[in-house]
Amino acid sequence: MVIPPRTTRSRLWARSALLATALTGALLTPHAAAAPGDQGAVPPGTPVGINGRLAVCGTKLCNQYGKPIQLRGMSSHGTQWYPQCLTSGSLDALAGDWNADVLRVSTYVQEGGYETDPRKFTDLAHRLIEDATSRGLYVIVDWHMLSPGDPHFNLARARAFFTEIANRHKDKPNVLYEIANEPSGVSWSTIKSYAEQIIPVIRNIDSDAPVLVGTRAWSSLGVSEGANENEVIGNPVNAANIMYTFHFYAYSHRDEYLNTLSRAADRIPVFVTEFGTQNYAGEGANDFAMSQRYLDLMAAKKISWVNWNFSDDGRSGAVFKTGTCNAGGPWTGIAPLKQAGVWIRDRIRTPDAFPTG
């Protein structure tokens, strides 16, 4: 079902207004975070303005009308390295020029991230949630644990982080919580145990927002460690309104991964919270043909996705040419983009078909 004409027009109007802002100089310093309790207004005609609060229904992500939808958008790189890529101008471009639906805010735990300065990185996450909200974007709060691969290693930190994030943003309709980026080297039962300790922390504060649960073997549903989706299907997390995450990098992750995603999406709710067109390190040659096979599958099954990454990192997986962020842009159009950036922007900015009735 397509959007009624009036909804389409209002969304295009809202996107045009954001793009005009970007083109007239708002590529400046990041916005200050709103004070606690200041939830901000959701702009009408934007993805959040149209769809409202989301919920898991069956194996799909559904909008306020109970209709399955697909979100498409971008993930930040680590906020400890590339905050200069997340400015008023770049986020205006993401919303107004790219027509994205969702921003994933990647708060690394190690590698110079949250553990080094919890206050700094929690405040940065607050600010980016507010920035996404003001543009009518959904926002995934990504607890970007990577190494160590056991999420229990950061359990106390995760409790503290998600307690504060949920308390500040519990009344917003656009927040999704991703509680473990890429577990590895541990069993599914270990990851499930972690999830069943962190989800109540969030639910006791924010009872309505979807929670995204990382899966075994770098969120491959176990494939990268010789397993598959059946371990999740046979032993699901004991919680409602959750989805399981799947990550892929098209040059490295071929038909076995694609087929796993296809089978899993018919049995459990899946959200692709990270993917690239390159190898598993987000670098090297792009495989756009394999990437398109994934995108076609996700469109057919309404699997939401987020691409890695919205930065000017030197690797091919970063969408902006190196130096763009330190120069303060430009952000719009294809001139500042690498090859992968041009390709993914074209696929994000095609019209959404959000059903509203």
* Annotated catalytic residue 256: no
Q: What tokens appear for 46 in the block?
A: 């934007």
Neighbours of 163 (CB within 10 A): 15
Three-point CA angle 138, 139, 144, nearest 5°? 155
Cβ(325)–Cβ(312) below 8 Å:
yes
283 assigned to active site: no
- For residue 274, give the 3-state DSSP assignment: strand
Phi then psi dihedrals of residue 76, to 5 deg:
-65, 165
> Are 76 and 1 in contact, with CB atoms under 8 Å apart?
no
- By CB atoms closer than 10 A (0-12, 13-18, 19+), residue 58 is exposed
**Residue 175 in contact with residue 210, Cβ under 8 Å?**
no
Pick the catalytic residue from 130, 164, 178, 182. Answer: 182
Residue with token string 């206050």: 119
Instruction: List residues with catalytic annotation.
Output: 182, 274
